[in-house]
Amino acid sequence: MEIGLKIKNLRITKGLTQEELGDRCELSKGFISLLERDMASPSIATLEDILNALGTDFAQFFSEVSADRVVYGKDDYSVKTDEELKNEICWLIPNAQKNEMEPIMLTIEPGGATYPDNPHEGEEFGYVTEGIVTVVIGGEEHIAHKGESFYYTAAKPHHLENRGKRTAQVIWISSPPSF
């Protein structure tokens, strides 16, 4: 089990920065960064403090989702709202970061966007279920309307924008996981 990755994903799901998590646990941002990259190991007491700050406990943290499970519902979803960027990310599969792809449902309010993502390995696919989004890849812009999909390799900086007057919603899949 990659404890660092699991802490990072839980921190992001809770909408906390490394500094905010560190402050809640009386740890430095640098130590949280080392933990998340599995370059440091916390003591049991420190791990307990981190898990408490993230709203979980040892039993939940170390439980594994059954590989036999196929169907997931709203009780399984994790949601993160970014008021500054006017978006909401809903992770549709628990612990999908350990899988080969990670599906999310992204809602972007008018004037909103996703955080610009740096180039990375992999591919990304999206299907617009509501509204219109602008897919920005490098310096190029592509418009995708409701009922249309987009696909690209993630070799250039990229993000989505909602320049319309209505809320946009996208089912977005990244392989390997990057959300």
Quote the pLDDT of residue 80.
92
Q: What is the CATH number of the domain that holds 138?
A: 2.60.120.10
pTM score: 0.63
Q: Which of 1-10, 44-53, 154-163 has the lowest mean pLDDT?
A: 1-10
Cis? peptide before 177, omega within 30° of 0: no
Same-domain check for residues 24 and 104:
no
Same-domain check for residues 56 and 92:
no
Same-domain check for residues 52 and 86:
no
Same-domain check for residues 19 and 81:
no
Same-domain check for residues 52 and 84:
no
Structural domain of residue 47, as residue ranges?
3-62
- 99 against 169, higher pLDDT: 169
| Nearest residue to 79 (alpha-carbon basis) of 49, 113, 107 | 107
Q: Is residue 125 part of a domain?
A: yes
Convert the pLDDT of each residue in 97-136 to its tens digit: 677 888 999 999 999 999 999 998 899 999 999 999 999 9
User: Per-residue pLDDT for 53 more than 80?
Assistant: yes
Distant-in-sequence, close-in-space partners of 159: CB < 8 Å, separation ≥ 6: 113, 114, 115, 116, 117, 136
Same-domain check for residues 29 and 97:
no
Q: What is the CATH number of the domain that holds 14?
A: 1.10.260.40
